[in-house]
A and B are shown apart, each in its own frame.
Chain A
Amino acid sequence: MRQSFRGRASRTALRRLATGAAVLSLGLVTACGGDDGDDGASGGPTLEVWIMEGTNPDAGPYVAELQAAFTERTGATLEVQFIQWADAHDRFTTAMAGGELPDVAEIGTTWAPEFGAAGALTDLAEQIEADGLGDDLVPGLYEAAQVDGAVYGMPWYAGIRSLMYRSDIFAEHDLQPPTTWQELREVARQLRVSEPDMIPFPVSGGSEYGLYPFVWGAGGEIAEQTGDGQWRSAINAPEAVEGIEFYTSLATEDGLSVAAAETWLETDQLESFQNGDSAMVINGNWTVNTLIADDPAWADRIGVVPVPGQDGGFSPSFVGGSLLGEFGSDEPELAWELISMMTTGEHAAAWAEQSGYFPGQQSLLEEVQQEADPLVAPFAQAMLEAGASLPVTDRYGAIQGEQVVQGMLQSILSGDRSAQEAADEAAAAMDETFGG
């Protein structure tokens, strides 16, 4: 990575022009702010780090403290830039083309294999091993960073989706949160009768993460790696289809959702919960903080349980989160120093607490669970006991980009296809991408 650096610098200007122009001509340019990583005025080296905006609602004090601590420890200046999740992927791509990548950046877990395969990320396996951190990382998150023995990012923080319900309404009608799939259906049916104006359980066609627990919970897989390292879709195998069928039938057969939800994204679903329209939703632990921040009364209105298993236990849920990756920095030691500062110990715990996410370090996560906060512990439990990860390959990033799973959901929910037909089509689309 470091050897290629000189060549990279000389090509930079031309490539920046070329690709910037190519992007422009498609008429699709998204905001790409120019920034030149000048050395800081203080004379010491400067490290540039990108962090996603909005994870931590008030990140200012955290950043100030981190900058001070980093300068104190290393003498280097830390330059922090906040970028938007919505266009972050495009930002990274254009920065890659222009040779303007930061030294260290927060990346979504599913991007690690993608950017790793492109050769943009540095393998951190050695550093993690040297510092003896490997055994204390949350498995679902750590797995997502590992491709063929390389580790393309250090787990920073994570979240998981669970079943959130309106505890006030459940109490009013003397209902218990479901512990099996059948109970989920029953409870929703009772809600439909007792709260006719509410949506008992919206099945959102634009949110793949609401479906995955049911695929995994029925014993299915999204895709499997065959002996030769190739991935093959398993979304149309009988177990997976059983899960898909159950999840979508809540809408198509029992009418526990609404037609509008066929095109809802996860954010639309949260909005309907927040507006008091929905009684149960599958949503992330980070949204609890958002709800309570908007209106403290929510603390008495929400209940949380892990997504129930088919016949008890829990259905596995996707551990989504962020890694800190090093983008071929010319100060690799400083970069690792920063990464380990942010992902372990006090700074990691502070970030997790302020943002409403869970730390990527197992020991810190167990501490959180032991605090037994009713709105936090069920998520932590789900993460420790039923965390799952998506196929770790750059091709799955392309499949997500193409929205194959959402397309499958929407065609079932709108009645165009049966679960099996739609799953067969999705599997074919996935295999085409895996194969290519």
Chain B
Amino acid sequence: MAADRPVKARPPRGGRAPRSARRAATGRALRPWLLLAPALTVLAVLLFWPLARVVLLSFQDYGLRQINTGESNYTGLDNYRDILGDSFLWKTVLPNTVFFAGACVGLTLVVGTLVALLLQRLGRVWRVICSTVIMMAWAMPAVTGTYVWIWIFDPLDGVVSGGLDGLGLIEPRETNWFTDRWSFYAIATLNVVHHGFPFVAITLYAALLTIPRELPEAAVCDGAGPWQRFWLITVPTIRPAFAVVTILSIIWDFKVFAQIYLMPGGAGANEDVLNLGVWSYIQSFSRNEYGTGSAIAVLLTLLLLAITVVYVRALSREKDEP
């Protein structure tokens, strides 16, 4: 305030703005913030404060005793040092998280795009039927869906092993797909893709509707085949929608939890299949080491931020080029 005074005392040369006008300008500048205030307050309470708490927790050795007494117990970077120095992170948890998310995002996008193209070509009745079925997959809660997939792949009573047994391909009494890292994640991938593709399909279908009809027609006249029409017309037009569903899929698939945790062996008994989300949960809630769990959660967040930033920058650069 004190620093302001001399400026105020000596109005700028040619300063035609009297006090009332300046106040109006301030008011105009403030107004959007006033309107945003309720939403920002909610965000601060629901998002920023918990985020800050997790970061604070991640610098502490925080167990049940601290929860009960409310004391703090700062230990600096110890949690991060432990986690980053643990070969388990680099050999198991991180590869599981990254490759699983990569596979899920890729497959979700491919399946979602194909279904969106299908919806575009279908007649009205079939479109309604198909989109209803898709919506049902989407509406299924992750927990229920996971139990259904577990049942489908149950080695003794599941439909898949029943079918393969009928064909004489496997011996159900000697089969268990949940103990092996690859087959475990194959089932989890099916589950996540099945649950995630409807959102992609519906969003992209909506985007497809915005393509003016003349474009593909003109392309047909020019002799473009379906493959060329897809890559040269469809993809560039709906690129923004692609960007959105890709980023959202990345975020969702990196932090998959229930679909792993609920699978047989996924809650910690099978170390080979842990991902960052489940590892963080086990450290916090099964071992009562909330500090370590929070540090893992922070690392997961940073990883996601990094990927998203790189992706968004790559996209904007691409957009500037042509």
CB contact between B265 and one of A18, A90, A410 (< 8 Å): that residue: A410
A401 at the interface (CB under 8 A from B): yes
Residue in chain A with minimal CB distance to B281 = A28
B198 at the interface (CB under 8 A from A): no
Residue in chain A with minimal CB distance to B64 = A118
**A26 and B269 form a contact (CB under 8 A):** no
Cα distance A406–B297 in the bound complex, in angstroms: 25
**B49 and A401 form a contact (CB under 8 A):** no
B199 at the interface (CB under 8 A from A): no
CB-CB under 8 A from B69, the residues of chain A are 4, 119
Interface string of B170-209 (1 = CB under 8 A from A): 0011111011100000000000000000000000000000
**A26 and B284 form a contact (CB under 8 A):** yes
Residue in chain B with minimal CB distance to A119 = B68
A260 at the interface (CB under 8 A from B): yes
Cα distance A18–B294 in the bound complex, in angstroms: 14
**A263 and B178 form a contact (CB under 8 A):** yes
Cα distance A15–B271 in the bound complex, in angstroms: 33
CB-CB under 8 A from B289, the residues of chain A are 398
CB contact between B287 and one of A8, A258, A263, A401 (< 8 Å): that residue: A401
**A114 and B64 form a contact (CB under 8 A):** yes
CB contact between A28 and one of B265, B268, B270, B285 (< 8 Å): that residue: B285
Cα distance A120–B65 in the bound complex, in angstroms: 8
Cα distance A435–B69 in the bound complex, in angstroms: 23
CB contact between A414 and one of B54, B63, B179 (< 8 Å): that residue: B179
The winner among B45, B155, B156, B175 for most chain A CB atoms within 10 A is: B156
Given contacts A28-B257, A407-B271, A410-B270, contact A260 B176 (CB under 8 A): yes
CB-CB under 8 A from B50, the residues of chain A are 21-22, 24-25
Residue in chain B with minimal CB distance to A395 = B287
Secondary structure dominating the interface of A: helix
Cα distance A27–B285 in the bound complex, in angstroms: 13
Within 8 A of A (CB), among B37-91: 45-47, 49-51, 53-54, 57, 63-65, 67-70
Given contacts A21-B50, A119-B65, A263-B179, contact A26 B293 (CB under 8 A): yes
Cα distance A355–B168 in the bound complex, in angstroms: 46
A262 at the interface (CB under 8 A from B): yes
B294 shortest CB reach to chain A, Å = 7
Cα distance A117–B65 in the bound complex, in angstroms: 7
B255 at the interface (CB under 8 A from A): yes
Cα distance A4–B69 in the bound complex, in angstroms: 9
**B288 and A22 form a contact (CB under 8 A):** no
Within 8 A of B (CB), among A1-38: 4, 8, 11, 15, 17-19, 21-22, 24-28
The winner among A17, A24, A26, A118 for most chain B CB atoms within 10 A is: A26
Interface string of B284-317 (1 = CB under 8 A from A): 1111111001100100000000000000000000
Cα distance A113–B285 in the bound complex, in angstroms: 16
Cα distance A90–B293 in the bound complex, in angstroms: 15
**Size of interface on B: residues with Cβ below 8 Å to A:** 49
Interface string of B156-173 (1 = CB under 8 A from A): 100000000000000011
In this complex, the interface size class of chain A, counting residues with CB under 8 Å from chain B, is: 35 or more
A93 at the interface (CB under 8 A from B): yes
A224 at the interface (CB under 8 A from B): no
**A26 and B281 form a contact (CB under 8 A):** yes
**B176 and A398 form a contact (CB under 8 A):** no
Cα distance A389–B45 in the bound complex, in angstroms: 45
Cα distance A402–B269 in the bound complex, in angstroms: 7
A271 shortest CB reach to chain B, Å = 10
A428 at the interface (CB under 8 A from B): no
CB-CB under 8 A from A115, the residues of chain B are 64
Cα distance A403–B279 in the bound complex, in angstroms: 12
Cα distance A406–B265 in the bound complex, in angstroms: 9
CB-CB under 8 A from B286, the residues of chain A are 398, 401-403
B264 at the interface (CB under 8 A from A): yes
CB-CB under 8 A from B47, the residues of chain A are 25
B253 at the interface (CB under 8 A from A): no
B146 at the interface (CB under 8 A from A): no
A177 shortest CB reach to chain B, Å = 24
A341 shortest CB reach to chain B, Å = 27
B267 at the interface (CB under 8 A from A): yes
**B68 and A114 form a contact (CB under 8 A):** no
A108 at the interface (CB under 8 A from B): no
**A19 and B49 form a contact (CB under 8 A):** no
Within 8 A of B (CB), among A89-143: 89-90, 93, 96-97, 114-115, 117-120
Cα distance A380–B160 in the bound complex, in angstroms: 43
Cα distance A299–B57 in the bound complex, in angstroms: 54
A413 shortest CB reach to chain B, Å = 8
Please list the 7 inter-chain residue pairs (A to B) with the smallest Cβ-Cβ separation, ordered nearest first.
A401-B286, A25-B50, A263-B264, A118-B64, A21-B50, A406-B269, A260-B155
Given contacts A263-B176, A407-B270, 4 further A-B contacts (CB under 8 A): A18-B49, A205-B265, A206-B269, A262-B178
Interface residues of A (CB under 8 A from B): 4, 8, 11, 15, 17-19, 21-22, 24-28, 89-90, 93, 96-97, 114-115, 117-120, 205-206, 258-260, 262-265, 277, 394, 397-398, 401-403, 406-407, 409-410, 413-414, 433
Return 12 A-B CB contacts under 8 Å, by A number. A19-B67, A26-B281, A26-B284, A96-B67, A114-B64, A118-B63, A258-B173, A259-B176, A260-B173, A263-B178, A407-B268, A413-B179
